[in-house]
Amino acid sequence: MSDDVTVNAFFDEVGGQAFFERLAHAFYQHVTADDVLAPMYPPDDLPGAERRLALFLTQYWGGPTTYSQERGHPRLRMRHMPFKVNPEARDHWLTCMRLALDELAPAPAARAAFDDYFDRAAHAMLNTFDA
């Protein structure tokens, strides 16, 4: 079995694109209430940010490649460089994502995979240790 088949099976198992759309929506509900993260997101772009996150996660976890078709290579670190991503912001981001995952309650094995990925991704986005 190839990795593509495994990833696509995982994508389908968690609920496909609809799952990632719900996850992005739940995440941004928490972001808008977060005193550290909310100022980083222009209010008029929240629907766009939510859509981009859903498309990115859909693609990363084996779904359609709409994100790359529309935006090119993800280049996550480059796209986050304009923002001050310090340990506090990282921790708040992870909290919002974990709360969103709590709401969606994926199966334990899927939750473990998500937690592992989001933890690594959040740490990779650090670009300053300034407060």
What values do phi and psi take at 42, rounded to 5? -60, 125
Q: How far apart are CA 7 and CA 5, in angstroms?
A: 6
Give how far Cα 6 sits from Cα of 1, 9, 19, 36, 64, Å. Answer: 7, 5, 17, 37, 15
Tens digits of pLDDT across the chain (131 residues)? 334 444 588 999 999 999 999 999 999 999 999 999 999 888 888 898 999 999 999 999 999 988 887 766 655 545 545 667 789 989 999 999 999 999 999 999 999 999 999 999 998 888 878 87
CATH class for the domain made up of 3-124? mainly alpha
Q: Is 94 helix (H, G, I), strand (E, B) or coil?
A: helix
Domain boundaries, the chain: 3-124
